[in-house]
Amino acid sequence: MMVYSCLEARCGRYSRIPLVMSATTSMLERFSNGVRPSEKISHITTPEHTIRSILLWNNDSDQWADAVDGSRMSVELILEEKLIKRSQQKKITSPLNYKERLFVLTKNKLTYYDGKPEKKFKKGSIELSRIRCVEIVKNNGGSIPCQNKYPFQVVYDTNTLYVFAPSQDSRTNWVQRLKYEIKDNKAVLVKFHSMFWLDGAWLCCRQVEKQAMGCEEYNPYRDNTRKPLPPIPGPIQRPSPPPIPTSEDDDGDMDEDDEDEEDTVVALYDFPGAEPHDLSLVKGNEYVIVERCDANWFKARNQYGEEGYIPSNYVTEKRSGNLVQYGWYSKQVNRNKAEELLRNEDKVGAFIVRDSSTPETYTVSLYTKGSAGDGVSAIKHYHIKQTETSPPQYYLAEKHLFYSIPELIEYHKHNAAGLITRLRYPVGKRDKSAPSTAGFSYEKWEINPSELTFMKELGCGQFGQVRLGKWRAQHKVAIKFVRQGAMHEEDFIEEAKIMMKLSHPKLVQLYGVCSQQKPIYIVTEFMENGSLLNYLQEGRGSFDLGSLLSISLDVCEGMEYLEAHGFIHRDLASRNCLVNDSRVVKVSDFGMTRFVLDDQYTSSSGSKFPVKWSPPEVFNFCRYSSKSDVWSYGVLMWEVFTEGRMPFENNPNHEVVTLIMQGHRLYRPKLATPTLYDIMQLCWKERSEDRPSFSSLWVMLSDTLEEDV
């Protein structure tokens, strides 16, 4: 018989390290007689290690037995420590809270208990085979409302468990051990979110879909070379018993903060439903989410028990802190557009509450006129601030604190209290129409051509004619005719199923294709004001700095979304962006150049190849990436601030290649400030890795727009 020991070490990390002992006959006899050999334990204690228990291998039963008290136990225990978990909020109405739990990691499961590792105290358990990502959470100096300040995340299935460790060593140990245990899992993520999901958005990339693809590459093997060290010496005690196996219907998290709450949403728009499996929505009514099918479509149930599919962007979660349900809040409105809306309203006390450039902060934009009666208007922008207390309180004027933003707004509707005037008239976005959906129904990408009505011609694109039309005689769409021989049709049709799932307010939505006949049709969202290039040229001389910066931000938002989803545009330019009737600019034709068969367009030596928008690695090596899109975006910004001029207008393509390779860049447009031109030049760095990401560009441009708030 061999005797092994479970050891603890000073570093606060747990690990089973076998210690082979020379077992004397008398010692084994004492074990077999049931005598507690405590006097034999003390001499094995060292400055570095302390035995927690002595384990014996029973060859008869193929079980480990605790030599201290003779009981059987699992040797699968890897880590055990009291940590703090954040409620997972699997249901939208679940509260956000933080609770201390005893976490136990074995070879098969991560389990957490309320105090003692016993079945009746178990609060949740996750099979290690279901874990898709384990990584630290970046907080960037943000406040953490619990005493443990070192967060990490465990992503499993479609959920994220946030855990807070008491020290950096503790966190490192848990992350490394968990990564080591899941390294062979099949469903490991390609990308993950490096910051928290909070108040309906990812703090790292500001995506508002909880199931949106991550924004940072995930490396499951990072830091796995170092094995965790053993734990801190402590009093001699028997190991905690292993977690009790969960039943088959264990959903992985039974914490009381997530129980017995329905996932309730409120409809923001009417939705008639396009197919029999859809559920109609009535604005203002409440619905229960039965299943979150993907980021764009949910299965829901109405008050009558009827179930069906609904677009996720037509509803908002029902909770007190959700501002979307209020008419005075406009999420997708920047400073310039807010000022435009307020001036159009032209009422003293007109106001909008909108997102600030800093994530999870808000600004009140308020309209007034001069007190001298001269009719001169003024717009003030007030940041909504919050205290450092827990829970935080919100204020515009320091003497007037409120526990919620709606309470704050309601108070200032009746009291100026430090503002230039009270908040009298809430102003919403001018575009009151419902947003585009990712396809006309869930999993519907093939469109019957008999449901299309063809109207006037809108123009001619690289694949053929584009016409205005209607789907089922009610929904305006743009219909692109693909002439035969213009594209790799089979490849495109397959890719269209993926492209339809890309849905964002600053992307032109692909609704579907008609692929069962020739020519095939591509059906997209209709944009009333046409291409951004024509829009700039036709309005030349009428744009101010704020309007042009707002256009640049719209495009940047759309590209940031594509970047976060690992999608490369390959042909970003003002001609491939469209403008709707609310003057919102959206990115179009993303990824389409992959399917073009025209060599004059796809070859860098071809007359139609967009050399003037391309970085060196593209026209030299055809090496595309999100960073090549960033270069093109810098040229698009130049187009915007020259109001639609041609880049390098006096140089043919071959000269442009030479100029770029010699270090020449486009000049600063007159309408662009030095700061904006500096941003353009960052996009034109020769080495792709030196260029900023679209996420960074969005922050730079937003800060520029808000700089005098």
Q: So which residues are the catalytic ones?
A: 571
| Residue 652: alpha-carbon gap to chain centroid | 41
Q: 404: how many CB neighbours lie within 10 A of its CB?
A: 14
Residue with tokens 């009737």: 581
Q: Are 37 and 67 in contact (CB under 8 A)?
A: yes
Q: How far apart are CA 243 and CA 237, in angstroms?
A: 18
Task: State how far the Cα of 461 lies from the Cα of 458, in Å rounded to an integer.
Answer: 10
Which DSSP state fits 690? G
- The span from the CA of 221 to the CA of 203, in Å, is 25
Is 480 annotated as belonging to a binding site?
Answer: yes
Instruction: Tell me the DSSP string of 17-61.
Output: ----B---HHHHHHHHTT---HHHHGGG--SSEEEEEEEEEETTT
228/48 Cα distance (integer angstroms) = 15
Report the alpha-carbon distance of residue 50 to residue 42 in Å, rounded. Answer: 9
Residue with tokens 């003293």: 348
Residue type, 314: Y
User: Does residue 391 have a cis bond before it (omega within 30 degrees)?
Assistant: yes
> Cβ(263)–Cβ(299) under 8 Å?
no
Q: Hey, what are 513's tokens?
A: 């294709």
Beta-bridge partner residues of 9: 49
In the numeric block, which tokens belong to residue 569?
Answer: 């545009």
The burial class, CB within 10 Å (0-12 / 13-18 / 19+), for 564 is buried
Which residues on adjacent β-strands are paired with residue 468?
A: 478
CA distance 205 to 694: 10
250, two tokens: 């264990």
Report which secondary-structure segment, H or E, holds 381: strand 377-386
Residues 6+ apart with CB under 8 A from 165: 81, 83, 148, 150, 151, 152, 171, 174
First to last CA, the chain: 76
- Torsion sign (Cα): 186, 209, 207, 135: negative
Which amino acid, 574?
Answer: S
Nearest partner of 281 among 254, 316, 248, 232, judged by Cα: 316
Residue 513: C-alpha distances to residues 135, 440, 477, 520, 564 (Å): 40, 11, 12, 7, 25
Closest CA to 286 of 310, 252, 260, 251: 310
Give, in order, the Cα–Cα distances in Å from 291 to each of 280, 300, 435, 550: 16, 7, 22, 37
Residue with tokens 């003024």, as numbered in its chain: 378
Residue 528 and residue 581 in contact, taking contact as beta carbons nearer than 8 Å: yes
Residues contacting 455, CB < 8 A, separation 6+: 467, 468, 469, 470
Angle made by CA atoms 400, 141, 231, in degrees to the nearest 5: 125
Distance CA 452, CA 474 (A): 10
Binding residues for ATP, as ranges, are 480
